[in-house]
Structures are given as C-alpha cells and as structure tokens.
Structure 1
Amino acid sequence: MEHSEVVVNPTPISAGEKVTVNYKGLLADEGAEEVYLHAGVGYNDKWREITNIKMEPSPQGEWTAQLRVNTTERLNFCFKDSAENWDNNGGHNWSFEVHNGQQYS
C-alpha cells in the first residue's frame, strides 16, 4: 500500500483562517471518481462540527478542498470516496493543532 500525501496550507493554522487541504493517496490511486474531505474539530475521537466537503481533482491526480477553521480545537480529517472507501491514515486520521492567532515572543 502506498503512503498518502497530504499537504495543509497554511501551517500552523490560526483560528478563523481558510485552510487548503491537498490529498494524493490511496483513494486517488485506486481511481476514485469523487473524493470527500471528512473533517471535524475536537480532541481524540470526540469530533464535533463534522462536515464532508467534495474535493476538486487536478490533472496531477491530486484532490483539493478548502475549509474555514473557526475554533482553537484540533482540526481532524480523513478522506472517503463515493463508494464509502476510506483513507484514514492507517486508523490515525490526520490531526493539526489550531492556534488562536496571537503572536508569542
């Protein structure tokens, strides 16, 4: 099984920012016609504000979606296709810390 490539921009993530998620991996490699970003915020397995965002394909075989993160809780996500096949990073999902946007010195 090939490793999935996930790029989140910008990182670090600040609350209130629009975030772009690029995905190239298992679902794309297996010819998925549609890929969805399955995202939520929270800690561990206590996700809230769960959403599914249809990703846009690129000619390079990469899928892209944008979302706004309005909380300082962790951003968690994985991917699924229209046939309910999942890429959840080997059961660990992807998780990013979200900052409050203040600069610390």
Structure 2
Amino acid sequence: MANQPFEQNGIKITPENFKYGDMIRITYDGELVKAGADKIWLYNTFNNEWKTATEDEMQKNEQGAFEINLPLDKRGYLQIAFRDSANHWDSNYGNNYSIQVQ
C-alpha cells in the first residue's frame, strides 16, 4: 500500500508500498530532530493496544535523521509516536501517527 501521509511531518516509510508481513524502515526528521534531539525513540503499537506498545531507540543516519526497521506483524492500524531524551514528544498533537496495514 502506498502510504506517505505524514511526510510533511518528517516521517518517511520505505518501501513506499507495504503490506502485512513486510519489514519497513521508518525515517524520522521531524520537529524533535529540528529542535536538536540527540536521541529518538519510536513508540508503537497496533490497533490502539497500548498495553503491548514497544519503545525502541532509533539510529541516527548520515543525514542527521533517525531510522528504525519495524516488522508489520499485524493487520490494522500501526500507531507511532516519537520521543527524545528530554522526554519531549512528537505524537501528532496527541493523536499519534496512524498508518493502515493490510
């Protein structure tokens, strides 16, 4: 599924066409990076199951953005948010970023 609804927020997903079972790469160059964050963590879950959410440190690439690989092991909606080491969040104004996985 081609899905880049949050590219204007500094979030890029590759491959651009993905589906359940794929491994995706999330690259983040959003407001936390622009504010000078030294570390970024990806907070994520599927289908609003926040009790099973995970938080993983992203790796800084040569361009200064942060990246992480994530398996799409469930169908439905992947919800993601980003946190820096100062505990500042980019969560789409509390709505999280929601990406459909078919």
Give the TM-score range, shorter chain. Answer: 0.7 to 0.9
Contact 1:4–1:25 (CA<8 Å) still a contact in 2? yes
Contact 1:75–1:96 (CA<8 Å) still a contact in 2? yes
Partner SS, residue 79 of structure 2? strand
TM-score by length of 2: 0.82
The structure number with the bigger radius of gyration is 1
Match of 1:64 among 45, 64, 67: 67
The runs of at least 4 aligned residues of structure 1 exceeding 2 Å deviation read 10-13, 46-49
Deviation at 1:16, TM superposition (A): 1.5
Pair 1:78 & 2:89 matched = no
Could you report, residue by residue, the CA deviation over 1:22-56 in whole angstroms, capped at 9, with x for unpaired residues? 1101111111111011111004xx43531111111
TM-score by length of 1: 0.80
- Structure with bigger strand share is 1
Query: In the alignment, residue 101 of structure 2 is paired with which amino acid?
Result: V
- Structure with bigger helix share is 2
- Unpaired runs of at least 5, structure 2: 1-7
- Unpaired runs of at least 5, structure 1: 100-105
Deviation at 1:77, TM superposition (A): 0.1
